[in-house]
């Protein structure tokens, strides 16, 4: 864990699986396959030939894509040595549902408890996730193609997670995936100890292992002695040149199947506003913190934000500085919780003011400067929806709706604990986010009781004058149906895995 | 105002009886990490002046770390510690605790060395009370009673607001309505807002002497300090470049044990211990630094914030074994990950100043730089030194320091003589 050197190597996109860089938005059809490895040897020969898509930019956009990722169990099944495996972070090794205390922190209790998950719960952890993408209409063909001769011998398909294209909206009807951090692919960023502005350009090490993170440090990952068996395919670690970096250009994928009660959501909102369609939309928008079309509720700030895609200025060039009383976008709105857009220190005038802020002074309000710095808690989202579309009007209308709706939430992070788990625990599930009380995320909250708290199921909308409006008895809209932590290896780590797996099999036979 | 105080009853556990003691302490919990208020051993919930309490078996997992200095490991005894934060003088509280829970305390202390069942319990307990080197209270003067009354007030007003819209009224009138509601509730005996007691003269006097005395001492010794400073800095940098880090990956079983005791409500306990680096230099630095922290906690950071951190309700540092080891114990809001995030991002300099005198801490520069900013090494170091807390009591589970502060502001707004419209708006926004 040493400092970055002054001269940095350019990023080799051909070594990185494409999903880190691209969302494959043009590939409207996708299916996520959850596999158990039946035969390590066959799995390795499949891996060797699998047409996995890399992060290289091609002259023509790809018409198909394939990504593979492994749980701890999967890496073990492939034959990765235990000492290498132990180089992974404890949360990856333990798994999303691996410890009761983790489930408590993630809010995976009650109806969302792993015991009732379809996959990923006790005894149901898949070995592998294979993410398959194709242009509309050609998915089946591509799935056939990628399977190849070794497939059946290699894998048992535990679950297929089909996805659907809802035109960029998530099942409640809101345009989704709009705000994404911009990874520092050019490696130009050297974060200061205190970043005084919120920025959207985030150190590469937050999304890829083997590069400096927002602390300027290399996140823990498996390093292998340079003379180790089959290590010729791996490159040396930047921070420890005598070791080979199994993690470099790889990262973690957090996959969660979140079932959304679209009917329940719109009917609840509808009831609050006496079925006025426009007010219904406005209330839902204040719960989400965005307009349904994806536009920001807050106007763009006067200063431009580093790392905001110029195409998304209308949606993303804002912070909550202009809305410190939460009147325009409630403090508890989904996107304000998920990404509070604050810098490391409250904005200061001059060094003295900065010094005072550093020591905790100059905070007139009791809720000033209480949220953690955003930049250490960013995630890349690559999720896909599932189930048919259901418009708000149809959702509130009478009639049966037996279809299941939801999202296969996918987060790409280099540090599961500090990024995904922190956001999920301290910002989404916490009933005390931003010095509030008695409410968790209006969309994701599980509304489970918390000892000593009379309620956990309210939603507050601050008003310009007078007391805030408070929505009470907010039901649970989202239930977790499955989930697991996966390691998304680099292309060289995949070659390494294929090699060690094949060797293990030949040794065993 | 009633000032808070803390106690820590420390006793050596008889090695042969440690297992038995662990089993006995476990009977105080519903399950590990969840206190049973109805337990008969020490019913902490019966004391209406106790904010937090915990019982610890001080089994230091890091005593081997001193071997990195080529010194041999010291086999310290395993201690039992009962810690509490209470309103008013600790001696008063201890007397009450002995009175109510005498039998339970005796049955606990029979597992300890030097305890004679026939001896006067209160005298024994007082003789084993160890004072803190530094103590932090989120809000000096906020009593258990006040917290309870003000939370009841907030909940009552909250319920009233759900049933009655004030939207059509002028701001001033809204406040009048709320004031009237509360005073009706008070008259009906459904709400009680006890006036704060007078600040004890003795405490005030002591506080002023402490406030003024420390700077005067500093001033008197300033020529000496100035003379010593260059030598101090040279010695500091010498040590900082050679002191080894000891922060390997934490044993998963240890980490899981700790995690299994956390996150049952919104507040958590943290208990850690470790040895101070060998040599007089680090010992002295630690004493001075903790004295400075104690001073600032008492006189400056006594209104909801320890520098930028708002999530710590109570915290303390206590020297053990003649100053060779230190215990750190705190009650904080949120999960451990957010607590460490505060440490690393908001007060790393404060953490470095203290803990860099401990064996194995991530390398610092000039006492305040780097150190905790080595995020993962720091997290390993912290978890390595953390110990399971056998029993933990919180008088108000579900209430964070923010909640308690907000409730006090709600009450203050009701009790104010008059408020401007903008003050009322700010006040109404508290709900």
Domain shared by B408 and B386, yes or no: no
Q: Quick one: pLDDT at residue A407?
A: 98
- Please indicate if any CB of chain B lies within 8 Å of the CB of A446: no
Same domain for B390 and B406, yes or no, is no
- Confidence band, pLDDT 50/70/90 cuts, at residue B238: very high
Which residues of A are less than 8 Å from B402 in CB distance?
Answer: 366-367, 370, 432, 435, 437
Region B306-335: mean pLDDT is 97
Q: Is B423 at the interface with chain A, CB within 8 A?
A: no
Q: Which two tokens stand for residue A458?
A: 């309210």
Q: Residue B220: inside a domain, yes or no? A: no
My answer on whether B369 and B413 are in the same domain is no
Residues B280 and B386 in one domain: yes
HSE-CB for A249 with a 13 A CA cutoff: 23
Same-domain pairing of B422 and B326: no
Q: How far apart are CA B19 and CA B39, in angstroms?
A: 20
Q: Is B99 helix (H, G, I), strand (E, B) or coil?
A: helix
Q: 């009781």: which residue's tokens?
A: A449
Instruction: Please check whether residues B380 and B404 belong to one and the same domain.
Output: no
What integer pLDDT is reported at residue A505 of this predicted model? 62
Domain annotation covers residue B204:
no
Tell me which DSSP letter residue B397 carries. T
Range of the domain at B423: 144-195+400-428
Closest residue in A to B372 (Cα) is A215
In contact, A113 and A120? CB cutoff 8 Å: no
Nearest chain A residue to B265, by CA:
A451
Q: What span, in angstroms and rounded, lies between the C-alpha atoms of B2 and A497? A: 65
Name every residue whose Cβ is closer than 8 Å to that of residue A167 and which is 6 or more positions away in sequence: A389
Statement to judge: residues B295 and B380 lie in one domain: yes
Q: Is A422 on the interface with B (CB under 8 A)?
A: yes
The C-alpha angle with vertex B430 and arms to B426 and B431, in degrees rounded to 5, equals 130
Residue B423 belongs to a domain: yes
Inside any domain, residue B281: yes
Instruction: Please tell me the total count of domains within chain B.
Output: 2
> Does residue B303 surpass a pLDDT of 60?
yes
Is B370 among the domain residues? yes
- Written as tens digits, the pLDDT of chain A (509 aa) is 444 444 688 999 999 999 999 999 999 999 999 999 999 999 999 999 999 999 999 888 899 999 999 999 999 999 999 999 999 999 999 999 999 999 999 999 999 999 999 999 999 999 999 999 999 999 999 999 999 889 999 999 999 999 999 999 999 999 998 999 999 999 999 999 999 999 999 999 999 999 999 999 999 999 998 877 666 889 999 999 999 999 999 999 999 999 999 999 999 999 999 999 999 999 999 999 999 999 999 988 888 899 998 888 889 999 999 999 999 999 999 999 999 999 999 888 888 989 999 999 888 888 999 999 999 999 999 999 999 999 999 999 987 778 999 999 999 999 999 999 999 999 999 999 999 999 999 999 999 999 999 999 999 999 999 999 999 999 999 999 999 999 999 999 999 999 887 676 666 54
Q: How far apart are CA A61 and CA A180, in angstroms?
A: 21
Q: Judge if B51 and B113 occupy the same domain.
A: yes
Task: Report the alpha-carbon distance of residue B337 to residue B270 in Å, rounded.
Answer: 12
Say whether both B411 and B367 belong to one domain. no
pLDDT at B221 over 70: yes
Residue B202 belongs to some domain of the structure = no
Work out the average pLDDT over B260-277.
Answer: 97
A48 burial level (CB within 10 Å; 0-12, 13-18, 19+): middle
The answer to whether residues B135 and B148 belong to one domain is no
- B-chain CB neighbours of A430 within 8 Å are 266, 334
Token pair 């320890």 is at which residue? Answer: B306
- Report A:12-71 residues touching B (Cβ under 8 A): none
Q: Is residue B225 part of a domain?
A: no
In this complex, is the C-beta atom of A472 within 8 Å of any C-beta atom belonging to chain B? yes
Which tokens hold the place of A318?
A: 């804002």
Using DSSP's 3-state secondary structure scheme, residue A36 falls into: strand
Q: Which residues pair with B267 in a beta bridge?
A: B333
Residues of A in contact with B249 (CB under 8 A): 86, 90, 220
Q: How confident is the model at residue A3, as a pLDDT? A: 44
- The tokens describing B90, both together, are 């600790």
Q: Are residues B154 and B292 in the same domain?
A: no
In this structure, chain B runs to a length of 431
Establish if B257 touches chain A: CB-CB under 8 angstroms: no
ipTM of predicted assembly, 2 dp: 0.96
Pairing of strands B4-12, B29-31: unpaired
Q: Is A215 on the interface with B (CB under 8 A)?
A: yes
Same domain, B148 and B138: no
How far, CA to CA in Å, does A80 sit from each of A84, A233, A248, A356, B42? 7, 15, 16, 51, 51
> Could you tell me if residue B419 is inside a domain?
yes
CA–CA distance, A385 with A23 (Å, rounded to integer)? 13
């Amino acid at each position: 864990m040493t400092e970055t050197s002054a001269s940095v190597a350019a990023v080799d996109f051909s070594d990185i699986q494409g999903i880190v860089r691209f969302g494959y938005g043009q590939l409207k059809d996708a299916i996520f396959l959850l596999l158990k490895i039946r035969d390590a040897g066959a799995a390795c020969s499949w891996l060797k030939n699998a047409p996995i898509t890399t992060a290289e930019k091609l002259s023509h956009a790809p018409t198909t894509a394939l990504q593979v990722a492994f749980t701890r169990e999967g890496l073990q099944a492939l034959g990765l040595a235990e000492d290498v495996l132990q180089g992974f972070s404890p949360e990856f090794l333990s798994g999303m549902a691996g410890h009761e205390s983790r489930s408590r922190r993630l809010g995976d209790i009650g109806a969302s408890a792993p015991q009732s998950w379809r996959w990923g719960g006790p005894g149901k952890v898949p070995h592998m996730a294979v993410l398959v993408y194709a242009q509309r209409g050609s998915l089946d063909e591509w799935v056939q193609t990628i399977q190849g001769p070794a497939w059946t011998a290699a894998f048992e398909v535990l679950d297929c997670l089909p996805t659907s294209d809802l035109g960029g909206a998530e099942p409640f009807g809101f345009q989704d995936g709009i705000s994404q951090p911009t990874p520092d692919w050019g490696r130009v960023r050297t974060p200061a100890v205190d970043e005084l502005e919120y920025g959207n350009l985030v150190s590469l090490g937050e999304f890829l292992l083997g590069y400096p993170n927002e602390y300027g440090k290399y996140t823990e990952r498996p390093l292998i002695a340079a003379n180790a068996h089959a290590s010729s395919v791996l490159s040396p670690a930047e921070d420890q040149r005598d070791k080979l970096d199994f993690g470099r250009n790889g990262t973690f994928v957090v996959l969660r199947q979140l079932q959304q009660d679209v009917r329940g959501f719109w009917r609840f909102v509808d009831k609050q506003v006496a079925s006025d369609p426009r007010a219904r939309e406005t209330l839902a928008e204040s719960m989400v913190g965005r307009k349904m079309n994806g536009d920001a509720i807050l106007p763009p700030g006067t200063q431009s934000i580093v790392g905001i895609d110029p195409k998304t200025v209308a949606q993303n060039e804002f912070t909550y500085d202009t809305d410190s009383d939460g009147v325009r976008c409630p403090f508890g709105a989904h996107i304000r919780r998920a990404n509070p857009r604050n810098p490391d220190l409250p904005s200061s005038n001059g060094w003295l003011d900065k010094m005072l802020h550093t020591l905790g002074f100059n905070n007139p309000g009791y809720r000033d400067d209480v949220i953690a710095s955003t930049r250490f808690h960013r995630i890349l989202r690559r999720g896909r929806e599932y189930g048919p579309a259901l418009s708000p009007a149809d959702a509130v209308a009478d009639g049966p709706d037996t279809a299941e709706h939801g999202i296969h939430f996918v987060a790409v992070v280099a540090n599961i604990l500090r990024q995904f788990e922190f956001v999920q625990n301290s910002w989404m599930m916490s009933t005390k986010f931003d010095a509030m009380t008695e409410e968790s995320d209006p969309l994701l909250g599980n509304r489970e009781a918390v000892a000593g708290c009379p309620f956990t199921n309210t939603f507050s909308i601050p008003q310009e004058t007078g007391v805030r409006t408070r929505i009470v008895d907010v039901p649970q809209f989202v239930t977790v149906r499955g989930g697991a932590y996966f390691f998304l290896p680099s292309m060289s780590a995949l070659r390494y895995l294929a090699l060690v797996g094949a060797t293990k099999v030949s040794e065993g036979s | 105002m009633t000032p808070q105080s803390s106690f820590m009853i420390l006793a050596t556990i008889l090695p042969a009886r440690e297992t038995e003691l662990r089993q006995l302490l476990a009977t105080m919990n519903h399950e590990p990490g969840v206190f049973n208020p109805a337990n008969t051993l020490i019913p902490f919930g019966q004391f209406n002046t106790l904010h937090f309490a915990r019982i610890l078996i001080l089994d230091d997992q890091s005593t081997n770390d001193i071997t990195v200095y080529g010194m041999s490991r010291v086999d310290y005894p395993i201690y039992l510690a009962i810690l509490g934060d209470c309103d008013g003088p600790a001696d008063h509280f201890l007397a009450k605790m002995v009175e109510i829970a005498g039998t339970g305390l005796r049955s606990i202390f029979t597992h300890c060395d030097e305890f004679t069942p026939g001896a006067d319990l209160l005298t024994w307990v007082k003789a084993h009370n160890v004072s803190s080197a530094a103590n932090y209270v989120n809000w000096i003067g906020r009593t258990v009673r006040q917290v309870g009354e003000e939370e009841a007030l907030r909940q009552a007003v909250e319920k009233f607001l759900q049933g009655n819209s004030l939207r059509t009224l002028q701001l001033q009138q809204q406040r009048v309505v709320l004031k009237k509601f509360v005073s009706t509730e008070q008259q009906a005996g459904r709400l009680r807002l006890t006036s704060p007691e007078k600040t004890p003269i003795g405490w005030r006097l002591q506080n002023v002497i402490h406030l003024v005395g420390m700077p005067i001492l500093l001033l008197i010794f300033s020529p000496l300090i100035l003379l010593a400073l260059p030598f101090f800095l040279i010695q500091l940098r010498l040590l900082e470049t050679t002191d080894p880090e000891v922060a390997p990956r934490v044993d998963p079983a240890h980490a899981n044990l700790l995690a299994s005791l956390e996150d049952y409500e919104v507040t958590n306990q943290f208990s850690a211990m470790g040895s101070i680096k060998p040599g007089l230099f680090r010992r002295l630095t630690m004493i001075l630094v903790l004295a400075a922290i104690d001073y600032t906690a008492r006189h400056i950071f006594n209104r909801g914030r320890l520098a930028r951190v708002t999530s710590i309700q109570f915290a303390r540092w206590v020297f053990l074994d003649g100053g060779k080891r230190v215990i750190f114990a705190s009650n904080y809001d949120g999960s451990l990950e957010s607590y460490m995030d505060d440490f690393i991002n908001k007060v790393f300099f404060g953490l470095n100043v203290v803990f860099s005198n401990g064996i194995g801490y991530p390398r610092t520069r000039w006492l305040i730089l780097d150190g905790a900013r080595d995020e993962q090494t720091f997290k390993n170091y912290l978890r390595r030194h953390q110990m399971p807390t056998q029993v933990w009591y919180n008088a108000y589970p579900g209430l964070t320091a923010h909640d308690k502060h907000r409730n006090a502001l709600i009450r203050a707004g009701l009790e104010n003589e008059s408020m401007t419209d903008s003050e009322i708006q700010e006040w109404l926004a508290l709900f």
